[in-house]
Structure 1
Amino acid sequence: MTEVHHVRVAPERLERWLAGFAQRHPEPQVTVTPDAVELVSPDGARAWLESPWGRPSAEDPLAALVAEACRPRRVGALLVRRNSHAVGIFDGSKLVRHRVGRHYVQGRTKAGGWSQQRYARRRGNQADQAFDRAAQDASELLLPEVDTLDAVLLGGDAQAVRSVLADPALAALRSLHERQRRPLIPVADPNLQVLRDALPRFLAVTIGLNAEARGPAPESR
Structure 2
Amino acid sequence: MTRRIQVSSTRLERWLSGFHDRHQIVKSVYYGNGVKFLGINGDEASVEVPYGAIPVQGERDGFAPEPLLSHASRSLRLGMVLVRLGGYAVGVFDGPTLVVSKVDSRLVHGRHKKGGSSSGRFARRRENEVRQLVNAAADTTARVVLPRLASLEAVVVGGDRAAVAQVLADKRLSACAALVRGPFLSVPDPKLRILQESYEKALAVTIDIRDGQTVR
Give the TM-score normalised by the residue count of structure 2: 0.89
- Give the Cα separation in 1 of the matches to 2:50 and 2:114: 47
Residues 59-92 of structure 1, C-alpha deviations (whole Å, 9 max, x = no match)? 6673222111111001110000112000011111
2:21 to 15, 20, 23: 23
* 1:49–1:208 CA contact under 8 A, matched in 2: yes
Letter aligned with residue 147 of structure 1: A
- Give the Cα separation in 2 of the matches to 1:27 and 1:69: 20
Cα shift at 1:99: 0.5
2:162 to 138, 149, 159: 159
For 1:13-92, what aligned pairs fall within 5 Å after superposition? 13-56=11-54, 57-58=56-57, 62-92=65-95
Higher strand proportion (structure 1 or 2): 2
Cα shift at 1:210: 2.3
* 2:25–2:37 CA contact under 8 A, matched in 1: no
Match of 1:100 in 2: 103
Match of 1:216 in 2: none
SS in 2 for 1:11: coil
CA distance change for structure 1 residues 135 and 24 in 2, over 3 Å: closer, same or farther? same
- Give the Cα separation in 1 of the matches to 2:151 and 2:15: 31
* 1:9–1:204 CA contact under 8 A, matched in 2: yes
Unaligned runs of 5+ in 2: none
Residues 86-125 of structure 1, C-alpha deviations (whole Å, 9 max, x = no match)? 0011111111111001112122222213321221111101
SS in 2 for 1:199: helix
Match of 2:122 in 1: 119
Letter aligned with residue 42 of structure 2: G
Letter aligned with residue 170 of structure 1: L
CA distance change for structure 1 residues 20 and 111 in 2, over 3 Å: closer, same or farther? closer
- Give the Cα separation in 1 of the matches to 2:111 and 2:8: 39
Match of 1:218 in 2: none
* 1:7–1:207 CA contact under 8 A, matched in 2: yes
Cα shift at 1:19: 2.5
Letter aligned with residue 74 of structure 1: R
Letter aligned with residue 23 of structure 2: H
1:9 to 7, 10, 26: 7
For the aligned residue pairs, the C-alpha RMSD in angstroms reads: 1.9
SS in 1 for 2:188: coil
SS in 2 for 1:206: strand
Match of 1:196 in 2: 196
Matched residue pairs, number? Answer: 208
- Give the Cα separation in 1 of the matches to 2:128 and 2:50: 37
Match of 1:206 in 2: 206
Percentage of identical aligned residues: 38
1:140 to 143, 147, 150: 143
Higher helix proportion (structure 1 or 2): 1
Match of 1:187 in 2: 187
SS in 2 for 1:12: coil
Letter aligned with residue 57 of structure 2: A
Unaligned runs of 5+ in 1: 214-221
Cα shift at 1:212: 5.7
- Give the Cα separation in 2 of the matches to 1:87 and 1:176: 15
Cα shift at 1:211: 4.1
Give the TM-score normalised by the residue count of structure 1: 0.87
- Give the Cα separation in 2 of the matches to 1:81 and 1:114: 28
Letter aligned with residue 77 of structure 2: R
